[in-house]
Amino acid sequence: MSVTREKIIELGENLIRTKGYNAFSYQDISSELGIKNAAIHYYFPSKENLGTSIVRTNIQRFDEMVENMHSRSFDEAQQLETFIRIYTKSHREQKLCLMGSLGPDFNTLNPSMQQELQRMTDKILIWLSGLLQSGKDKGIFSFKQDPASKALMILSSLIASLQLSRILNKMDYKSIHQSIIEDLKS
């Protein structure tokens, strides 16, 4: 895997999470990288090709995170905290997450991007549901709803909080994360 290729993917992801998929261009990437438009097309023939690769890379990163947590024998609370920390970091860097960036543009995306985005979201929700369920079984978490609904609520809070914090110049973001964790303790 070429270094340039990886840089393009990284830059592309940042652009999606900052300006949105339909607002960024190959020029944004090439000028930042100090190369020309056509060089990007060498690695990614089309924009949808690049977009799909970016989502796939993210899925891979998520898999690695889960695997890493398992190998370290993280308990359910630690795993949830690690996941939430991704969003703390995004907030600090003033970026959205991929689901929150690409979701609103879903209808304008090509089928291959739609499919990968769906795969990623499914995977995250299934993982989170399982985490909540097993945490509840062990008495670490407490909640009334079914795990799938609870997972959806938590993920929604994380996604939309990033978006709202972009609109509202001042927002107590930390309290959102604390609320999520506190809520599961009750």
Partner DNA sequence: GTCTATACCTTGATAGAC
Partner DNA sequence: GTCTATCAAGGTATAGAC
Residues 48-87, one symbol each (x = binds a second copy by CB under 8 A, - = not), give ----------------------------------------
**Residue 186 Cβ vs a second copy, minimum distance, rounded to whole Å:** 8
How far is it, in rounded angstroms, from Cα 101 to Cα 59? 15
Pick from 33, 57, 103, 181 the residue near a second copy by CB under 8 A.
103
Q: Which does 96 bind (CB under 5 to 8 A by kind): a second copy, DNA, none?
A: a second copy
- Answer yes or no whether residue 46 interacts with a second copy by CB under 8 A: no
The DSSP element (H or E) to which 125 belongs, if any, is helix 111-137
Binding site for a second copy (CB under 8 A): 18-20, 22-23, 96, 99-101, 103-108, 114, 117-118, 121-122, 125, 144-145, 148-149, 152-153, 155-157, 159-161, 163-164, 166-169, 171-172, 175-176, 179, 182, 186
